[in-house]
Amino acid sequence: MKPFLSVIVVSYNMDRELPRTLYSMSPMFQRNIDKDDYEVILVDNGSRNPPTAEQFIHLGMNLSVLSMENPTHSPVPAINFGLNRSIGKYVGVCIDGARIVSPGLFDSARTTLSTGSRVVVASRGRYLGTKFQRDAMVEGYDSTQEDALLEQSEWTTDGYRLFDISVFDESSGPTWFTPIAESNALFMTRALWAELGGFDVRFTSRGGGLVNLDTWSRALKLPAVEPYVLLGEGNFHQIHGGVATNGTHETIRAFYDEYRSIHGREFEIPSEPLSLIGRFHHQSRGSELHPRGLMPAKRPRRHLIRQVWSRTVARVLPRRARRIARGLLDRASAVIRFNPMAGLRELHVEHHNAKMIEASPFFNAEWYSQMYPEVIAAGYRPSRHYVRFGAAQSRQPGPLFDGVWYLDTYEDVAAGGLNPLVHYIHFGEKEGRRKRAIPDALFTSGTIVRSHSEFDLEVVRKSDLFDASWYVSTNPDVRDAGIDPALHFLIHGGSERRKPGPRFDTGFYLDSNLDVRNSNLNPLVHYELHGKLEDRPTSMTGV
């Protein structure tokens, strides 16, 4: 017999939402797990109409309904009360009783937990509807629309249809493979819950503030834990009067202030490595499988004067002269346009935004220059480059602000084509929007070391000049080692002057472009991001 599972659920004034939540947790809905294999402990935290076990007897589940004698604004005491009453070897906590769970969640969590004594299992959260519920409510989304959406989906027949009518929430997306800030269905052994100390009672804000994020973060820092995030399973938030979803920006900011007062630092999304496990039971949307913007949008070919500049004068001028000449070239290009005043206005706005981010603690010109030395080689001021090109190319403005994450988190900013740091300075901070530092920024004795990012790897993979089969056949050591050829070329092959394919001569490209050779950027990545636009030749035949 498989180990017994206990699931803790907390409710507060959820007359509409709770029946769906408990139905989704019942053996009528959950797959590959029997009634006698698990219990659900519902802890009511002071509802006007407290639920009773008799209301849900038709679900045929092993359900206990408990009520807090002295309910508080925070659900933390209720959660810990439920943890103390549970009997399972494995225990899951669902802090929000308004979340429907997918049909395979309990079996997948239990199966994964059985692989080791220090396994932690999380599932991603989603909003019912087509966008973040905070934004949807502003546009009129309400419980009536949601009821109709659920009825039309026939989710009770096939629970995986819930994925078709939902989107990732702010803490869990934007894809199945990105880090998460919290889990609204978190599972681990009873022993690990005890080692963790349950939920931290110092979080007393209404709704618990950031206690759920804190619990996930602390769980990942337990010694020798093995964290897993489930693929193809999840939990789905129903619209209700929840504090976090409906709270003002002042309320959300107070949550972060409480976290800071408890831990003495700002909250950051955990950067510990995660393992993914599971399978998809639904047709996942492409946008949920592949991050947006892996490849920079193609821009129109620059005027001939820019190509001549990049390939001749810019390579011999001193740095200060290059920067002055670059500014004159920008003005000349603006005037040559059909609408010269519009071009000059764009330059003025760009100049203003560049000055603004320079004054911000989140833009670090020295860091940017060391991370992207080709920018300086081309004669750009770092702030000007980031405003004009950097954000669109998924470059980061500094170690204290993750612009890529900001765009992934706030789809309205990305959809508007806005620069993430400019938006945060102008609007985001006042609106209480979150920010985070770059998790994988590396420092060695104060010097920034540019890591080979997923972005660079995707650039190599998608390049027409990279031929994986050719690379493996030409480099038998790569074939024998069983290494991903794209990853090998990114990390080793470029610096070793190996060719990524028959149409790109790495040695020639490095010898012909001293700015690339003196940088730490992979030559093929440089070509795809810059050299192609500047018409730099890739081999002797292209000269």
Note whether 327 and 274 are same-domain residues: no
pLDDT for res 13: 94
Confidence band, pLDDT 50/70/90 cuts, at residue 19: very high
Q: 461 vs 370, which has greater pLDDT?
A: 461
Please check whether residue 295 lies inside any domain of the structure.
Answer: no
Domain of residue 347: give its range. Answer: 304-439
Per-residue pLDDT of 458-478, as tens digits, reads 889 999 999 999 999 999 888
Calpha distance 479→477 (Å, rounded): 5
Note whether 98 and 183 are same-domain residues: yes
CA-wise closest residue to 236 among 172, 186, 162 = 162
Note whether 327 and 466 are same-domain residues: no
Note whether 188 and 271 are same-domain residues: yes
Among candidate residues 259, 289, 319, the one where a domain is terminated? 289
Please check whether residue 294 lies inside any domain of the structure.
Answer: no
The percentage of the chain sitting over the pLDDT mark of 70, rounded to a whole number, equals 81
Among candidate residues 408, 439, 470, the one where a domain is terminated? 439
Note whether 260 and 319 are same-domain residues: no
pLDDT for res 314: 52
pLDDT for res 145: 94
Note whether 310 and 282 are same-domain residues: no
Average pLDDT over residues 99-114: 97
Calpha distance 69→92 (Å, rounded): 23
Note whether 116 and 242 are same-domain residues: yes
Q: Which of 14-18, 300-304, 521-525 has the highest mean pLDDT?
A: 14-18
Query: Which of 183-187, 215-219, 347-351, 483-487 has the lowest average pLDDT?
Result: 347-351
Q: Which residues of 77-91 are buried (b: 16+ CB within 10 A; e: fewer)?
A: bbbbbbbeebebbbb
Please check whether residue 198 lies inside any domain of the structure.
Answer: yes
Query: Which of 336-350, 361-375, 501-515 has the lowest average pLDDT?
Result: 336-350
Note whether 213 and 238 are same-domain residues: yes
Query: SS3 for 92?
Result: strand
Would you say 30 and 103 are in contact if contact means Cβ atoms under 8 Å apart?
yes
Q: CA 451, 267, 353, 293 torsion: positive or negative? A: positive
Is pLDDT above 90 for 105?
A: yes
How many domains, in total, are found in the chain? Answer: 3
Please check whether residue 447 lies inside any domain of the structure.
Answer: no
Alpha helices, DSSP H, located in 42-132 = 76-85, 105-113
* CATH code for position 39: 3.90.550.10
Note whether 12 and 154 are same-domain residues: yes
Average pLDDT over residues 164-184: 90
Note whether 430 and 469 are same-domain residues: no
Please check whether residue 191 lies inside any domain of the structure.
Answer: yes
pTM of the predicted protein model: 0.58
Per-residue pLDDT of 314-334, as tens digits, reads 555 665 565 566 556 555 554
Among candidate residues 260, 289, 318, the one where a domain is terminated? 289
Query: Which of 330-344, 378-392, 487-501 has the lowest average pLDDT?
Result: 330-344
Please check whether residue 170 lies inside any domain of the structure.
Answer: yes
Is pLDDT above 70 for 243?
A: no
pLDDT for res 219: 97
Return mean pLDDT, the chain. 84
Note whether 74 and 33 are same-domain residues: yes
Please check whether residue 102 lies inside any domain of the structure.
Answer: yes
pLDDT for res 449: 36
Note whether 254 and 308 are same-domain residues: no
Q: Which residue in this structure is represented by tokens 């993430």?
A: 420
pLDDT for res 108: 96
Please check whether residue 448 lies inside any domain of the structure.
Answer: no
